[in-house]
Structure 1
């Protein structure tokens, strides 16, 4: 989506103020959660929330996070508004989108940053304008007021354990390819560290790639290169950091006529990934109940917009390079294989009819998803 270009004079003024504060060494405190949580509460005030999410090759943002956040905000406050902007994979464009939202007069900003470090100017700009920022799904740099996500290291550990289980007792003699997430996403290092804490020394990591912008096409290219270098018969498993990368890897394996397909991990429980698991093309995905993440972010946003503390919403604290003790909600994910894939139906993420369309009826019946 093209970034909004309309701007008012308020934004440049805010930027100047941010620079002055930074020069004085005060940007870490002014407008931070320490100040906002001590503001005078405004019990029934309508709040306008800016929602800026990435579009990083994952379907989840439009399909789940956006509507879940909007519904929760409107449940808490019928007069509250959510101004949504879909980002791309470009950090500079996201900065412009943040500026546009701030110039429109929002009270709170929820940002799922494309690049956590590149998000720092937008966060500081919001802080200078006394707009608290909630970092969503990944920890942005700068003086943020709250953070909501899932445990990235646990995601990686779950993926690593699933892959080792699939490889069986001879895992130490087998070779895998690692397709890690984008290097500009701080979650990627958590996923990678978590997976390596399980895989290192227990399996041979024959090839490893960091896939820029979580691109399935990039995963296809990297997987094809690994197959060419190793040989089609020497890829015993694939660590793919999310379902989009899994899709690219599986496509490359099929193109190279690798069969049977080796076990491939994933993350996000995308609908297509759920179907691939049912048909046996993908071994595992990590399921993250997005409704809990969206609920916590919406609760924080409405509270901060009304000048209230979020201490009763947060379940812990995190730190970035700008602040310590940032109120946070860090949730636990769950690993799913075909044996327990039905949890996505039980939790209302998908219906049986959405998953089990005609081409998948037989596989769904075999997986026990049809009565």
Structure 2
């Protein structure tokens, strides 16, 4: 443990891993300290899509950079990236208006999308119900990932390339900075040293700096998702996002008709109460993932969310999904909840202790889409490096 690194990242999820990746690409010596045997948090419990199209302009730019990064890595090492595109399916004239407006916004931003007619949607997506679909907006450059596969393969790739030293089952219990050197002490008494440390794991942040954590404006979102049994002789390409998604994703907030359309919605509806929007994605094994819902609590009160699944939410999502796509079967083989933190007032939580201890967390639902692009910029900022 005598080696001193330029950077130690606490937390091996997608946000921490991409900070480590970009630091290494800049020639820095880097280690990741991950408390579990492999990442187990939001990084592996999400839907598995990279959708810059759903973000506001700032985060769409990070997401577009992320797409380039994912595709570059995939060209060297299979980390489960599939470029099969994202489609938003409009179910009524209001949603058609929103996708037409978003199409124009993205055209102005030089981000390629294609308006699809009802017939084109029905021909492209097997089982899509003609009584649901009115039109679609397709983003061909976007990708899907297998969350439980991607992060572990990315770690494997970085290890094989000699980019980063990764230490699993390494729980950090104390961090201190003395004479511009950061010392990290683990639960078994090991000491790691670095010029700079970035803490990207919410639970590590909570354990190491409970006062700062409790005084932050972080909230935690609990999401429920389901996975069907494999669908025989059935193929569904890409991410299928539907009318409730159009009415939820922040990209559509930039549309001229957004406010007037949202004002007509029932604030007491079930989907509003539990933040439900319906998404589909077929996994590599042929199963179809259906999601998702959103329940919120202040981060310090995360236990209020509970760890049990709300069967009423699952039943609602299945019933809504059946109105959209006729799958060969709706037999559910797996149900789970994911938890991620986000800020009430800012894009993500950033706090610096001393000169060289940086807390970066709370990226929320933007993690899989935005982390790779954001981390590249943030490493340059933290180390005052050239962007070239």
Which range, TM-score by smaller chain? under 0.3
Query: RCO (CA 8 Å, sep 6+): is it higher in 1 or 2?
Result: 2
Compare the two structures and name the one with the higher helix fraction. 1
Provide TM-score, normalisation by structure 1. Answer: 0.24
